[in-house]
Amino acid sequence: MLDTLLGFMIANPATSHALTALPETAGIAAAMIGLRAPRPEATAALVVSTYYFGREAGQREHDIKHAGWDAVQAHLGAEFLYGWSLPNLQQWLAPTCTAWAIAAVLFLMRSRLTQTR
């Protein structure tokens, strides 16, 4: 069972990123709600999205440097999506969309709970 799950996650990185973004977003939002931070759901989604963007941009920057670009060009290219492949774009967008969907659900749940009180 575990081998099958790990095989699926390795074979489908965008899906696995989306599945891991789910508890990450919920956990960060729960911690921020407990700390009474403003806009905890949106902040959690932004943190998760930024994490995955940085992860994919770092990989692109590394690849661009090895293609012969200097460090500044490689950094700017990676930051502005130059040289990103479709799988890398999907591996950033899938968890980002999941994070914002979870944030919306948490926001709606919290707003409904506060209305009934």
Q: Are 48 and 96 in contact (CB under 8 A)?
A: yes
Most confident of 6-10, 23-27, 80-84: 23-27
Cα gap 50→92, rounded to integer Å: 9
Say if residue 116's pLDDT is above 90: no
pLDDT score for 117 = 64
Task: Give residue limits of the domains in the chain.
Answer: 49-117
Q: Are 22 and 34 in contact (CB under 8 A)?
A: no
Cα gap 20→11, rounded to integer Å: 15
Computed over every residue of the chain, the mean pLDDT equals 91
- Please state the rounded mean pLDDT for residues 95-106: 96
Cα gap 55→109, rounded to integer Å: 30
Which of 13-26 are b and which e, b meaning 16 or more Cβ less than 10 Å from the residue's Cβ?
A: ebbbbbbebeebbb
Q: Are 52 and 17 in contact (CB under 8 A)?
A: yes
Candidates 18, 78, 77; CA nearest to 48 is 18
Cα gap 83→14, rounded to integer Å: 18
